[in-house]
Structure 1
Amino acid sequence: MPTVNEKGMWRNKEGDFIHPDMITPDKQLEDEVVEKLIDSAIVVQNRMINFKAKAFEECYGFVDLLRQKYDMERITSRSGAVTLKNFDGTKAVEIQVAKLISFDQKLSLAKEKIDEYLTLKTNGADAEIQTLITRAFDVKNGKVDAKQILSLKSYPISHELWKEAMSMIDDAIEIVGTKSYIRFKHRKNGEVDGSLEHIVLDLAGLEIPTEEAKDDNI
């Protein structure tokens, strides 16, 4: 339902209230469609949150049982990587833990050293090379992309200035926390020799079956 006041008037994008008779039928229908879908999306989101919490709890609960079996102390912190598989190996649940990386001020010094190297090697002529490397230092949402920064270390460059810059990057790394991810996999059709495929729970990554595919499943 749209946001209405005590007189039944609809609030518009400017925060003003107007009489519904002044709203075209297509705009009223659009409002109805969006309101209905958003309400449904919130329900699905809450179910996914509850499912995720339950999945973590059950995985770590199983690990606790294993610890008891081997007379190991139970730990209250529910963290760490976990891989569980069903008996025939056609289904798997994985918990992976990624480190959250930040950089201190030494990263700026590393960039200065890289700029020095680029100026020396290109003499300011090859802008494309400079762009490819310095793009890693672009700031988005107030921070740099750690993966882009660390990818510079894979470049096979042996120049002393470059090596000094990579050493500065190593020194600039700070671990600010961890983030756990849970993933679900299965072998389609239950074949024991098939490859494990991710069960996609992200709406953007889901494919809607075609009519032909639906007919094949009947």
Structure 2
Amino acid sequence: MGNATHEGFWKDAKGNLVAPENVRESDKLADEVVRDLFAEAKNINAALVAFKQKALDDIRTHLALVVEKYDVKLRGKKGNRVLSTFDGSIKVTINIQDRIRFGEELVAAELLINECMAEWTHDANPNLRTIVEKAFQADSEGKISVYRVLDLLRLQIDDERWRKAMKAIQDSIRVIDSKEYVRIYTRDENGEYQALSLNIAQA
């Protein structure tokens, strides 16, 4: 049954073997429920992985045929594609999302920005200070938020040091890998596209 070894003992979270009579019935039942759900979830996950690959293959095949037959340029950014039904009621999109990290140039950017903040202490907008301070705050794992740092690039500040800092941020960006996302949308009664959830956490 569930966690029990062939000798009948149960292994706890620390790897210790526990006699079955010392395991609460509620824990045994919870173990069985979780293992059953995990087995089903693995099957669902495998089906989603297979569906994603099929969707990518089908769309790429279709686009390859279009280009070959009509010799036309595909619209949209590189890698991002949209296909829809003839009536526009359903659309499928492929989006490419790069995963990035920052190189050592980010240290220079932070130093330059700190110089600016020190000089602007009295005149700087408090909101600006908050944005800058949060951008370089590391989380519990020591990681800096990519989105907060990149948000600094949107600020238009007429200062040579600030411009150098923004250039340092741009130079620090390293693309680790790219991930493809397949999303399916259907029109609701108001004509708005609603995503069909393929994420168990959002279902």
Does the aligned pair in 2 maintain the 1:4–1:17 contact within 8 Å?
no
> Conserved in 1, the CA contact under 8 Å of 2:185 and 2:193?
yes
Does structure 2 retain, via aligned residues, the 8 Å contact 1:2–1:11? no
Matched, 1:64 2:64: yes
For these two proteins, the number of residue pairs brought into alignment is 196
Cα deviation digits, residues 7-59 of structure 1 (max 9, x gap)? 11111222122222222221111111111111111111111111111111111
Amino acid of the structure 1 residue aligned with 2:200 = L
Task: Compare 113-122 and 197-206 and name the one that shifted more.
Answer: 197-206
TM-aligned CA deviation for residue 179 of structure 1: 2.3
Which residue identity is paired with 1:158?
D
Report the CA distance between 1:110 and its aligned residue: 0.6
SS, match of residue 96 in structure 2:
strand
Aligned partners of 1:8, 1:53: CA distance in 2, in Å? 42
Deviations 1:113-149 (A, max 9, x none): 00111111116x9987544313212345564332221
For the pair 1:94 / 2:90, whether they are aligned, the reply is: no
Partner residue, 1:18: 18
Once the two structures are superposed, the pairs formed by residues 168-179 of structure 1 within 5 Å of their partners are 168-179=168-179
- Judged with a 3 Å threshold, the aligned counterparts in structure 2 of structure 1 residues 28 and 130 are, in CA distance, closer, same or farther, namely same
Aligned partners of 1:200, 1:194: CA distance in 2, in Å? 18
Structure 1: distance between partners of 2:127 and 2:192? 40
The residue matched to 2:201 in structure 1 has which SS?
helix
Give the equivalent residue in structure 1 for 2:192: 195
Quickly say closer, same or farther: Cα 1:2–1:158, change in 2 above 3 A: same
Structure 2 spans left out of the alignment, 5+ residues: 73-77
Deviates more, 1:89-98 or 1:130-139: 130-139
Give the Å deviation of 1:171: 2.7
TM-score, length of structure 2 as denominator length: 0.84
**Cα-to-partner distance string for 1:158-191 (whole Å, 9 max, x where unaligned):** 23322221122223233444322111101125xx
Give the equivalent residue in structure 1 for 2:2.
Answer: 2
Counterpart of 1:166 in structure 2 is 166
Paired position in structure 2 for 1:34: 34
What's the % identity of the aligned pairs?
Answer: 29
- Note if contact 2:3-2:31 (Cα within 8 Å) is conserved in structure 1: no
Q: CA deviation at 1:89?
A: 0.4
Aligned-partner Cα distance in 1 for 2:128–2:154? 15
> What is the one-letter code of the residue matched to 2:26?
D
Structure 1 runs (4+) deviating above 4 angstroms are 125-129, 140-143
TM-score, normalised to structure 1, is: 0.79
- Backbone CA RMSD of aligned residues: 2.5
Structure 1 stretch displaced more, 90-99 or 162-171: 162-171
Alignment of 1:30-179 (within 5 A): 30-70=30-70, 80-122=79-121, 130-140=129-139, 141=141, 143-179=143-179
Tell me: CA distance 1:144–1:187, structure 2 relative to 1, closer, same or farther (3 Å).
same
